[in-house]
Chains A and B, each alone.
Chain A
Amino acid sequence: MAEGLYSRVLGCMVGNALGDAWGAVVEGATAERVAARTGGKDWFDQFMPFPPDFRTHPLGVWDPAPPRGTGTDDTRYNHILIECAIRNGGLINSQFLAIEYIERYRDRARFYPGHEEMAEQQYRWLYEAACAHLGMPNLPSGLAPYAVRGQGIGFPSLHTLISLGLAGLLYKGEPEKAYAKAVELAFIEIGFGRTTTGMMAAMISAAIAGGITGKEMVRIGLQTDPLTHGDSEDYPRSLWFYRYGRQLVVKRIERLLELADQAKDDRALVDAVSREVAGLHLWDPIDVLGVPMAAVYFSDGDPIRSIVMAVNDREFDDEGKLKRLRDVDCTGGVAGALVGALHGVEAFPADWVAETIAANKKVNHIDLEANARRLCDTMFPQG
């Protein structure tokens, strides 16, 4: 196996967890809390440990005040996908993934010893969605399957963007295949939430093949479109509405890239893109994918600057000052996965990598190195 490929696969996984953990320390934090963490600043640019009073949450960290580098739900979800792909010898489809979700919930005592209650709360809704997807007639909630399928959380959101983006690691240098697979797997999501998941997978697929820049990776994310025939005018007319919906998303992200072209420095970029996404829900994938893409584009893939910009995605008060940070464990996780796939694990300081690997092994029952090695062995035995 090519070590460069392994480094990029591991880099993607570590970057994802590292960015997730970086942002989780200040996810949704008010200006006062950011100032308290940073010694009075309104800019969060240090990879920090969780403070002593940091609490557990089913979608957050599963141990109180865990070690620096501990990922949240983003990291856990992505490694369900990775471990499902490994377990099935590289073969994966939405049914296999649904079964995996059911097992994670049902067998939580085995998968997550010591964290069964957290796992129960985090995975309960996945269990329901998986049962509906598999056509089981009696869902745990008692609802009919049609009340669950096609519903997501009511609007296109970030759920599969933060849980299936690493599907790009299944296809080295095949962004179209990665995109299609990610959309297929994203049965818990709806609408452009699935499309943005495909974009993320396409970028990672292109990045782990090597030889591209950050800007090129972002362009691949916007241009890969195997399900709607891209920019071609030769497409079935029945797809007009569908393409129209996709174009709305692409245009919103392209607008963020235009702002990147105009920004004079990292803070100016964050100010501009944050104002552009101000009307969107915190969980809108246009924000959670678009802001990291703008950060990667602006820094041309600089690993640390990209993550720092992504985890500073923010809301402003009426005077233009920081009001609170947005869903920055998710923006951080996306940015980290992209830059890690682009540059490999060596792009991050060695102590950050070591701590992130150790923390997720201890708290989340995830061995990032073993998963990266086994995924490479499974998917790319020839390198």
Chain B
Amino acid sequence: MLDERCYSRVLGSMVGNAIGDAFGGVVEGASADRVRRVTGKDWVDEFLPYQEGHGIHPLGVWEASPPRGTVTDDGRYNQIFVECVIRNRGQINSQLLAIEYLRRYRDREALYGKHASLAEDAFGNRMVELSQAHLGMATSSGRPAWAVLSQGNYQFPALQGLISLALVGLLHAGEPEKAYVTAFELDFRDIGYARDATGMMAAMVSVAIAGGVTAREVAQAALDTDPFGFGRRKYDKRVMGVELARFLELAEEAEDDRSLVEAISRQVRHRHIFDPVDILGTSVAALCHSAGDPIRTIITAVNDRDLDDDGKLVRLRDVDCTGSVAGALAGALNGVEAFPQDWVSDTIGANKTVYGIDLEDNARRFFEVVYGEG
């Protein structure tokens, strides 16, 4: 039984996840020219509506130039997890989640109506094949399970878990080890250290929603939670542990938010934009550097960028994803009241209108099935 304050953090994590996703979704991968056209400068610091002409994409927004606060795939995937937990009355494992993914694909006409063809592309891309293989079914691609499993989405550790299971920590308030283990188990679409990153994210959200912790303590929970002992291995290091510690050093050394972003940019320049080291490291560094300030955390995260040799902006990186992870952490730490009221109402309204996702209703029902009546 938990109190309203905890509920606020659960809702805050869901709404923060959506705000961060939509904040970054406007300028994801944007060139320097586009960033300047949209913002008038090379720094994104306003929660903007999608520009006129912003197109639809299976992994982006599903309506052209939708209202401010409309999420992309990150927000949609995370709410599939939330709704799967609700449907199963608080019980969740990787098989139930795989079945949920298959159902979303199979029943897309009924579930997504006018967006059914976008849902087909979004969920058909590996999610179906990986779910089928995970469940021991024949795959619709005809490929044997051994060719699918242990390969992840991209053949390298990527961000699937971070952008679709960022809210798993909401299941286990104040129990970071349990949260980590559940997230790791659910993250069957990822491989290697990407699953560790998903577990770390869950551990942080778990600690944050229990309350009474600082941003730095939240980050420390990621480093300290290691139930499978990856940090104790003899011949190979815990990649996420080593890398996250470096990001935290950058956060401590940076004089201001912009210098942190520049330092991170140098740190991640050789990494793929889907690398969870970048996505989680940037978000956690932003959270710690701002001492958990929700707005600065999201702004710093969505300015993750590639710089040229002169230190000038080339393009923003995968900033809907960094934004969504940062927003989920900041919301879990501070509760929904920490975000400007118009941001919250716009985001809740936009996702209800565009996708039929009711963030408030999902948060309330999730809270009820997981924690009783609160």
- A residues within 8 Å of B by Cβ? 59, 94, 141, 143-144, 146-147, 149-157, 180, 183-184, 187, 189-192, 194-195, 227, 236-242, 244-246, 248-249, 279, 283
User: In the complex the two chains form, is B156's CB within 8 Å of A154's CB?
Assistant: no
* CB of B220 closer than 8 Å to a CB of A: no
User: In the complex the two chains form, is A150's CB within 8 Å of B146's CB?
Assistant: no
The residue among A94, A190, A195 with the most chain B CB atoms within 10 A of its own CB is: A190
A59 to B154, CA, bound (A): 30
A380 to B25, CA, bound (A): 58
User: In the complex the two chains form, is A156's CB within 8 Å of B147's CB?
Assistant: no
Specify which chain A residues have a CB less than 8 angstroms from the CB of B146 in the assembled complex.
Answer: 94, 183-184, 187
Specify which chain B residues have a CB less than 8 angstroms from the CB of A283 in the assembled complex.
Answer: 236
A154 to B229, CA, bound (A): 12
1/0 contact string of B185-215 vs chain A (CB within 8 Å): 1001011110110000000000000000000
Specify which chain B residues have a CB less than 8 angstroms from the CB of A141 in the assembled complex.
Answer: 229
- Given the contacts A191-B157, A192-B156, A194-B151, A147 and B193 also touching, CB distance less than 8 Å: no
* CB of B230 closer than 8 Å to a CB of A: yes
A190 to B191, CA, bound (A): 7
- Given the contacts A191-B152, A245-B156, A152 and B235 also touching, CB distance less than 8 Å: no
User: In the complex the two chains form, is A59's CB within 8 Å of B235's CB?
Assistant: yes
User: In the complex the two chains form, is A149's CB within 8 Å of B153's CB?
Assistant: no
Contact among B141, B229, B235 with A239 in the assembled complex (CB-CB below 8 Å): B141
Of B78-86, B119-127, B360-368, the one with at least 4 CB within 8 A of chain A = B119-127
User: In the complex the two chains form, is B128's CB within 8 Å of A241's CB?
Assistant: no
Contact among B151, B195, B228, B238 with A143 in the assembled complex (CB-CB below 8 Å): B228
Could you say which interface size class chain B belongs to?
A: 35 or more
A187 to B238, CA, bound (A): 21
Specify which chain A residues have a CB less than 8 angstroms from the CB of B236 in the assembled complex.
Answer: 153-154, 157, 283
- B residues within 8 Å of A by Cβ? 94, 121, 124-126, 128-129, 140-144, 146-147, 149-157, 184-185, 188, 190-193, 195-196, 228-230, 233, 235-236, 238-239, 270, 272
> In this complex, what residue of B is CB-closest to A124?
B234
User: In the complex the two chains form, is B192's CB within 8 Å of A151's CB?
Assistant: yes
User: In the complex the two chains form, is B150's CB within 8 Å of A245's CB?
Assistant: no
- In the complex, the 9 A-B pairs of residues with the closest C-beta atoms, listed nearest first: A245-B155, A245-B154, A190-B191, A191-B155, A153-B236, A192-B155, A236-B141, A154-B193, A147-B228
Specify which chain B residues have a CB less than 8 angstroms from the CB of A194 in the assembled complex.
Answer: 150-151
**Smallest beta-carbon distance B127→chain A, Å:** 8
User: In the complex the two chains form, is B152's CB within 8 Å of A190's CB?
Assistant: yes
User: In the complex the two chains form, is A237's CB within 8 Å of B121's CB?
Assistant: yes
20 more CB-based (< 8 A) A-B contacts, given A150-B190, A279-B270: A144-B185, A146-B185, A149-B149, A150-B195, A152-B150, A152-B191, A154-B238, A156-B157, A183-B146, A183-B147, A187-B150, A190-B150, A191-B157, A239-B143, A241-B126, A245-B153, A245-B156, A248-B155, A248-B156, A248-B272
A154 to B144, CA, bound (A): 23
User: In the complex the two chains form, is B141's CB within 8 Å of A151's CB?
Assistant: no
The residue among B143, B150, B235 with the most chain A CB atoms within 10 A of its own CB is: B150
User: In the complex the two chains form, is B125's CB within 8 Å of A241's CB?
Assistant: yes
Contact among B126, B143, B156, B188 with A156 in the assembled complex (CB-CB below 8 Å): B156
> In this complex, what residue of A is CB-closest to B123?
A238
> In this complex, what residue of A is CB-closest to B146?
A184
- Given the contacts A150-B195, A154-B238, A246-B155, A238 and B124 also touching, CB distance less than 8 Å: yes
